[in-house]
Each structure stands twice: as structure tokens, then as C-alpha cells.
Amino acid sequence: LVARPGTQLTFRFASEGTTHHAFADFRYLPLLNPAAMIACVQWAEQQGFDAAILGCFGDPFLREIRVAVRIPVIGFGEAALMAAASVGPFAIVTNSPLLLEPVRQQVEQLSLSHLLVGMVASSEAADKQEQALVDAKAAMDHFREDAKPLIADGARAVVPACGILSAALRMAPGRDELGRGLLKIENVPVIDVVGCAVLAAERAVLENRASPVLDADLPRPGNAAD
């Protein structure tokens, strides 16, 4: 819906991650997904891809991955939050209460806390959320109701802090009769997380620039990485 003519996207899953049955019992398992994503991006660079997008709003290991490769690496969360900030004060709806604090930290790291109006977790039950990609109607209804108080508080943009939820609101069966998905609530734009990441990757490639790397990201003398 947003990509330039000629842009080609290749989708792939990380080799390991949070789908293992033992995920709930072992704290180290969440680290498998970011580690596998590093390997995915390195593979993409070796295969000649122009850029890579991390398909997770939490942007796992984004800075570390950017240091490890030369191609631009775009994070769902960073791209969406920066797009929201360009509109004005914004609000965030996460898909779980457990993500409220991690996403708040992302906002802080991007120096956007002064624009954050508020955050809430989705009112839709977790076991129902996976149906959004099959039929987005319930997810859209919950998202609208969750966002309305935040809009009343002054949000000029609303971010669905989940790539899957954002894609469902934009593309899944059950979206509005125009077939364009949930683009606005009370004339306030709903940020297209996936679309923002694609546009950011295209800009980086067209401008022939690498990902932003902060001095704090670089290895220091005496580190094993030297």
C-alpha cells in the first residue's frame, strides 16, 4: 500500500524465538529471538539486500545489529514513534500490559517523552487478539474504544504498538467498507507501523545512508569486540 514501484520485500522468520513450548518456564528463551534476528540481518547483508527491517515493535538489539552490518536497519518501533512525533503529541496502545514499560523506555530513548500523551494496554483479551489477522473487526472496535480517551486527552496520533495488530488494522478481513483499514479515529491518524518502516527503509536506501549509530553503541578500547 505504501511502497514505491520497484521496491521488493522479502519476509522471513527468525530461526528461533518465543514459540517454543518451554518459553513460559525459562527466562533465557526471549533472548533467542533477538539473537536469531541478528543472524537474519547478517544473512540479508550477505545476500545483497539493500536494507533490513526488524519485524517487532520492541526493536530487539537494534543498536547492536546496526553496529554489526553496513546496510540500513530499520526498527518497527523507532519508525512508528518518529512518524507519530512528526504529527504532534501522540498516544500508544499496546497489546499487553507487560509491554507498557518497555515501550515507555523506547519513547524515552528516542527523546520523545515530552510528546507522549498516554499509553494503555488493549482491552481485548489476549487469547482473542490472534484472530485479528483473520477478522479485524473486533480488534478495530477495541482499538477505537481504547484510543478515544487518549484522543480526548490531546493525542494527535495513535500508535498500535504491535506490528501484527497494526497490519490487521490496515489489511485484515473485516476492515472498513472502503477497504483501506483503520486510518483515523475522530480525524486523528492511526500510525501504520509496517508502512512507516518500509518508507524509512526506502528513504535510507535512496539517500544512500547507513543506520544512525550513536557513539555509545561503539565498542570501547579494552572490550572483547576490539
pLDDT tens for each residue of 74-108: 999 999 999 999 999 999 999 888 889 999 999 99
Helix (H, G, I), strand (E, B) or coil at 76: helix
pLDDT band at 61 (very low <50, low <70, confident <90, very high): confident
Measured distance CA(199)–CA(182) in Å, rounded: 19
- Which pLDDT score, from 0 to 100, does residue 224 have? 39
Give the pLDDT score at 217: 47
The pLDDT tens digits of the residues spanning 172-222 come to: 776 665 567 888 999 999 999 999 999 999 999 988 766 654 444 444 444
Cell of 85: 512525533
pLDDT, mean of residues 2-27: 72
**Could you tell me the three cell numbers for 149?**
480517551
